[in-house]
Amino acid sequence: MNTPGLLKCAGAVVALVIVSACGSALRQAQDDMTVAPSAATLNATYVGRTLFVNGRPVTAARLNPLPRYAELVPDKSKSKNYDYIFNDYDTYASIFNYPKSVQQIGRITGAGGQGCTNVLYGYGKKIIWNAGRTNDLISEYKVPNTLIKTLSLDYTYTSSCAMNTSGDLAVGILLGNSFGAGGQVVIFKNATGSGTVYNTPLSKEYFDGYDPSGDLFADGFGSSSYDFGVVELPKGSSKFVTIKTSNSPEFPGSVQWDGTYLTVFDQYTSETYQYTVSGTTATLKNTVQYTGAGDCAQTWIVKGLLYCADADGGGEVFNYPAGGSPAATLTGNFDVPLGVTAAKK
């Protein structure tokens, strides 16, 4: 794998000034038909291997400078399944109802970052969660787009979220306040209250996910370097432990149970690694390869499919575990896609 030139020097800070534009017709269209970009200019900066967009750290490995805009299609399908692409923090989520259609049917204004729901994989039951509506809040929505409640955190830069089968909600911290030490995970028992903070061996937590036993896994970068790392909080434990993988992932991606394996997505290689875990060792069993996506910043697995929030400016749907080229490309409004999940009414 050839590492992108911008990221070859882990200590380098590389500034990109990215200018995007859309036509005056789109800018002047009614709000219920189009979504304006979060900013006319996106300033992207790498600090080591962490990407900052407009001064805020994000969990994507790279991005395309040009947001995409399209006319929204009213939801007339009466579909009960909804797919969500979360864009840049505190911007909007694009709503789809694939496989009924590949066209965007709605949005959630103010959402952004990553998403999760109340199942380990597949379509969630009536609700979704969003880590990134604002930097220090995680929000719950009733499907398809009704805000139910928010939970507060004492950290500025959230990254991931995951829910176990008991309804506990885990929220990852990419960086601490004022760019201080990060890597924590805050767990809200029954998705309520103020949450309990757990420190991890990571300095930057990117993605997390539960297995059926209630063990919580997370990936990110190590405390003393930009080396990839996986950690686990065993059910009932108060301490995260480091998990050794039998292969060497390059860049953190989604961590999710797929019904058989614990999976970790690698943003650099566009691959899903399927593991069995015994003790503190994760043994690679299969590798699923994908082509045609720029950077799946977050992925979400449902039966037979994998959804990709493509930070290169869109969203794709792949067959899973077959992989290969996209089964479908989603058409809609995108502005630095970072997260994805799916749920049904």
CA 18 to chain centre: 22
27, 153: one domain: no
Which of 252, 192, 244 has its CA nearest to residue 49?
A: 252
pLDDT in tens, 75-99: 666 678 999 999 999 999 999 999 9
In a domain, 71, yes or no: no
Average pLDDT across the chain, whole number? 86
226: helix, strand or coil: coil
Q: Which amino acid does the sequence have at 95?
A: I
140 with 235, same domain: the answer is: yes
Write the CATH number for 257.
2.130.10.10
pTM: 0.87
97 and 39, same structural domain? no
DSSP 8-state code for residue 24: H
CA distances to 26, 54, 72, 207, 277 from 144, in Å: 25, 29, 15, 24, 35
pLDDT in tens, 193-226: 999 999 999 999 999 999 999 999 999 998 767 8
Residues 155 and 95 in one domain: yes
Which residue range is the domain that position 38 belongs to?
5-58
Number of domains forming the structure of the chain:
2
Count Cβ atoms within 10 A of the Cβ of residue 185 and give its class: 0-12 exposed, 13-18 middle, 19 or more buried: buried
Same domain (yes/no): 185, 308: yes
pLDDT-based confidence at residue 313 (cuts at 50, 70, 90): confident
- Is the bond preceding 144 in cis, omega lying within 30 degrees of 0? yes
Please name the amino acid found at residue 107: R
Q: Decide if 73 is inside a domain.
A: no
Block residue for tokens 């059926």: 212
In a domain, 244, yes or no: yes
**Is the per-residue pLDDT at 15 higher than 70?**
no
How buried is residue 2: exposed, middle or buried, by Cβ count under 10 Å (0-12/13-18/19+)? exposed
Three-state secondary structure string covering 252-317: CCCEEECCCCEEEEECCCCEEEEEEEECCEEEEEEEEEECCCCCEEEEEEECCEEEEEECCCEEEE
For residues 154 and 283, membership in a common domain is answered with yes
Question: Is there a domain that residue 290 lies in?
Answer: yes
Half-sphere exposure of 234 (CA within 13 A, CB side): 9
Residue 184 has pLDDT above 60, yes or no: yes
Residues 153 and 287 in one domain: yes
* Same-domain pairing of 41 and 91: no
Are 227 and 108 within one domain? yes
Please provide the distance, in angstroms rounded to a whole number, between the alpha carbons at the two ends of the chain.
Answer: 41
Beta-carbon contacts of 144 under 8 Å, excluding residues fewer than 6 positions away, are 75, 82, 95, 106, 345
Q: In angstroms, rounded to a whole number, what is the distance separating the alpha carbons of residues 252 and 266? A: 6
Tell me: the pLDDT tens digits for 272-301? 999 999 999 999 999 999 999 999 999 999
224 beta partners: none
Percentage helix, strand, coil for the chain under 3-state DSSP, each rounded to 5: 5, 50, 45
Residue 315 lies in a domain: yes
Burial class of 321 by CB neighbour count within 10 A (0 to 12, 13 to 18, 19+): middle
Please tell me whether residues 119 and 189 are part of one structural domain: yes
Instruction: Answer yes or no: is 67 within a domain.
Output: no
Percent of the chain with pLDDT over 90: 72
Single-letter amino acid code for the residue at 112? G
CA–CA separation, 98 and 239 (whole Å): 39
Q: Give the C-alpha separation, 244 to 102, whole Å.
A: 39
Q: Are residues 111 and 194 in the same domain?
A: yes
Confidence of residue 182 (pLDDT cuts 50, 70, 90): confident
> Same structural domain for residues 287 and 232?
yes
Q: Are strands 81-86 and 339-344 parallel, antiparallel or unpaired?
A: antiparallel
In three-state form (DSSP H/G/I as H, E/B as E, the rest C), the secondary structure along 48-99 is CCEEEECCEEECCCCCCCCCECCCCCCCCCCCCEEEEEECCCCCEEEEECCC
